[in-house]
Structure 1
Amino acid sequence: MDFNVMRTGRAVLHVTDLEASRAFYDALGFIETASDDENIYFRAIEDFAHHCLHLKLGDIPAVETISYKVGSEECLDELHTLFVDHDRNVKWMEKGTQVGIGRTLRVEEVSGMTIEFYFEMEHVERMMQKFHLHKGAKVQRIDHFNCAVPDVDKAYDYYIHELGFKCSEFTSIKGSEHIWAAWLHRKPGVHDVAFMNAVGPRLHHIGFWLKDPMSLIDCCDYLAAAGYRDSIERGPGRHGLSNAFFLYLRDPDGHRIELYNGDYYTGDFDNQPIEWDLDDPARQTFWGHEAPDSWFNEASTLLDLNGNVVPVSEPKLAKIKPNTII
């Protein structure tokens, strides 16, 4: 069944120092829509919706939920029926209980992550032509989530066969029938969510779209000049997988942000997934340089529907890092 999941929508992150987080995301070029003593709501330059990133003051860095926009209120009810029928824990968040967003459905999905679906979000001013306010990376919009899960096959099967996602690219291991990582989409780009084999469930990163590759360079210059040089974890570079330019950053609490531009159209019905071998050195970085160990080993803690830390488990596939010879 197609539940008309449209795209990646927003993330809700817990941070331990709201002012430090405000300064960091402001340096990337996010627009602050609203805030109070315990919350900041950021949007990107193209957004007419209230926010794509909600930062909440918390005791520990954690991910409260990642969210997807759907095409109607009825889709929320249909998704509720699906998850209840599959014995998943669910929670309605009624309109008025969260700032800027309507009724939402939160679910502990098949990998144990708390995900959220919504239709309605308050409209605000687009900032596309407020060029005097554009700075840092000039972030345009939210693009995707990347999730570390212990069983990629299970996540892949559920999102493809139950939620109506499609696969653009995937990574396999020679001699194995299992998928090591998969890039799944609803919008006609490379992905709205990716799953990769790792200790999990955890959130590896949130990807944000930039207007052009030069914005990655502008961001590096801006961050270095503003005192955030140590926040740059990986890149800039070009992925083989997705063909996109990338820059990975760590915010003050260690949440990983990818700045991203340049993937390709996947909307044709007969678009076929591209397969990569895990040990292909062009897969993760087309230009050849390796990702640091932190990129494979570190990710953000998730919270369940009751606000408790989600326990993690070892991945089904023992191999969690490519063998890459430079």
Structure 2
Amino acid sequence: MDEMRLWIGEPRFDLAHLAHVELITPTLDESVRFFTEFLGLIESGRKGNSVYLRGWDDYAHHTLKLTAGPVPMMEHFAFRVTSPEALDRCVAEVEKAGLGIGWIDGDEGHGRAYRFRTPDGHVVELIWDIEWYQPTPETKPALKNQASRFPARGCNLRRLDHINLFAVDVRACRVALQETLGMRFTEGIVFDDGSEKGAWLTSNNKGYEVAITEDATGTPGRFHHVCYAVDTREEVLRAADIAIEFGAPIEYGPHKHAIQQTVFLYVIEPGGHRVEIGCPGARLVVAPDWKPIIWSQAERQRGQAWGLQTVATFHTHGTPPVK
């Protein structure tokens, strides 16, 4: 356990939360329709060949950016930090680790940002200055402590919850996010040979915001899925009904994960990305000295919480596709 570096130094709180994800899609119009009409996200802007979307209770300008491109892939994902000073501290740690790419001027919805790569090649962005979503007359909520009106459309996704990265070296990516950004390791999978097959990390009191799982194809830097949250288990079941009416292909679920206990449904959007509709488990990680829960090879072979075996594509399907 010591060599796994389960806990790295004093807890840091320089990250606030997962902020947004940019996905490249070869079918932009169809992907936008999927995310708005089926999943119920709200369009908050367009610029060039990109469309910006958000869940109805996401406070920021956007949490998902869809950009037209020839091959489906995750262009980058972003964290918001807790202060300008926290941004400087994170950048210093990233540069010390030799993972830095550099600064960009910004984008729709946020100011200047610093980019770096995980050891597997995923692009990560750190931001502080953001634009809060301003409701239109059509999206203005009745309650002022709500970001926007409940859309009553499709699956009614409430907020961005987490992402899952595929990686060739799960341990290297996990440790890099812990050491550079101060993320906390909450749960993991370690097989009998000592290889690390999965890691779940958080920057706040949620159980996780980033999962990293081993890519069975051996291809570095790919993306597994993005998850948006709904409030109840029943809404996950209803999402499956809506999916078959909409013609959205269901890959896996509805069911309940053993790790983190999220009730889930996985669908594939027209561009090829996997999307999870999830009701996160009720457990919050509030203990400052939380010790990661480690799952063994035998425990994972039992399947998910209620016994459903993991589908084979869960370990191979990702973006960009493997030729």
What is the TM-score normalised by the length of structure 1?
0.85
- CA-CA distance at 1:275 after TM superposition: 1.7
Cα distance, 1:57–1:182 mapped onto 2, change above 3 Å: same
- AA matched with 1:193: V
Tell me whether 1:208 sits opposite 2:228 in the alignment: yes
Corresponding residue number in structure 1 for 2:89: 78
Tell me whether 1:272 sits opposite 2:281 in the alignment: no
3-state SS, counterpart of residue 298 of structure 2? coil
- String of CA shifts for 1:47-67, please: whole Å, max 9, x gaps: 121000000111221211011
- CA-CA distance at 1:36 after TM superposition: 4.5
- CA-CA distance at 1:271 after TM superposition: 2.5
Corresponding residue number in structure 1 for 2:246: 226
Tell me whether 1:295 sits opposite 2:304 in the alignment: no
Q: For 2:204, which of 149, 169, 187 is the aligned residue?
A: 187
Corresponding residue number in structure 1 for 2:24: 14
Q: CA separation in 2, counterparts of 1:195 and 1:155?
A: 8
Corresponding residue number in structure 1 for 2:34: 24
Q: CA separation in 1, counterparts of 2:180 and 2:28?
A: 38
Q: CA separation in 2, counterparts of 1:131 and 1:100?
A: 20
- String of CA shifts for 1:167-201, please: whole Å, max 9, x gaps: 11111112x33322111111212211111122322
Q: CA separation in 2, counterparts of 1:282 and 1:45?
A: 37
Tell me whether 1:217 sits opposite 2:237 in the alignment: yes
Q: For 1:133, which of 141, 151, 159 is the aligned residue?
A: 151
Q: Aligned pairs, how many?
A: 298
Native 8 Å contact 1:180 1:278 kept in 2:
no
Tell me whether 1:111 sits opposite 2:120 in the alignment: yes
Corresponding residue number in structure 1 for 2:57: 46
Can you give the 5+ residue segments of structure 2 that lack an aligned partner in the other structure?
Answer: 1-9, 143-147
Q: For 2:68, which of 57, 61, 71 is the aligned residue?
A: 57
Q: CA separation in 1, counterparts of 2:232 and 2:301?
A: 22
Cα distance, 1:117–1:282 mapped onto 2, change above 3 Å: same
- AA matched with 2:247: G
Cα distance, 1:193–1:132 mapped onto 2, change above 3 Å: closer
- CA-CA distance at 1:115 after TM superposition: 0.7
Tell me whether 1:147 sits opposite 2:169 in the alignment: no
Cα distance, 1:262–1:83 mapped onto 2, change above 3 Å: closer
Corresponding residue number in structure 1 for 2:194: 177
What is the TM-score normalised by the length of structure 2?
0.86
Q: For 1:197, which of 214, 218, 238 is the aligned residue?
A: 214
- String of CA shifts for 1:2-51, please: whole Å, max 9, x gaps: 36111111001111122101110011010111125611100101112100
Q: CA separation in 2, counterparts of 1:284 and 1:56?
A: 35
Tell me whether 1:258 sits opposite 2:249 in the alignment: no
Native 8 Å contact 1:76 1:104 kept in 2:
no
Cα distance, 1:210–1:132 mapped onto 2, change above 3 Å: closer
- String of CA shifts for 1:122-145, please: whole Å, max 9, x gaps: 112465656662222211111111
Cα distance, 1:152–1:19 mapped onto 2, change above 3 Å: same
Native 8 Å contact 2:93 2:181 kept in 1:
no
Q: CA separation in 1, counterparts of 2:130 and 2:302?
A: 37
